[in-house]
Structure 1
Amino acid sequence: MGILLQVLLTAVAVWVSTVVPGIDLGDASPVAKIGTLLGVALLFGLVNAVVKPVVKFFGCVFYIVTLGLIGLVVNGLMFWLTGYLADKLGLPFVVTGFWPAFWGAIIVAFVGWVLSIVADRVFDGD
Structure 2
Amino acid sequence: MTRFLLSLAVNAIALWSAVWLLPGMDVTLSSSLHLFDDQTANTVVAYALLGLLFGAVNAVIRPIVAFLSLPITCLTLGLFTVIINAAMLALTSWLSSFLPMQLHIDRFFFTAVFAAVIVSLVSLVMSSITNRIAPERR
Answer whether TM exceeds 0.5 for this pair. Answer: yes
Q: Which amino acid aligns with 2:112?
A: A
> Is the counterpart of residue 16 in structure 1 residue 26 in structure 2?
no
| Aligned match for 2:119, one of 108, 115, 118 | 108
CA contact (8 A) 1:86 1:93 kept: yes
Q: Quick one: structure 1 residues 41 and 27, their matched pair in 2 at CA, closer, same or farther if it must change by over 3 Å?
A: closer
- Structure 1 gap segments, 5+ residues each: none
SS of the residue corresponding to residue 71 of structure 1 reads helix
Alignment of 1:1-126 (within 5 A): 2-18=3-19, 19-26=21-28, 29-98=39-108, 99-123=110-134
SS of the residue corresponding to residue 93 of structure 1 reads strand
Q: How many residues align?
A: 124
TM-score for the superposition, normalised by structure 1 = 0.89
**Percent of pairs identical after alignment?**
31
CA RMSD in angstroms comes to: 1.7
CA contact (8 A) 1:36 1:93 kept: no
4+ residue runs over 6 A deviation:
none
Once the 2 structures are TM-superposed, how far is the Cα of residue 48 of structure 1 from its aligned partner?
A: 0.9
Once the 2 structures are TM-superposed, how far is the Cα of residue 84 of structure 1 from its aligned partner?
A: 1.2
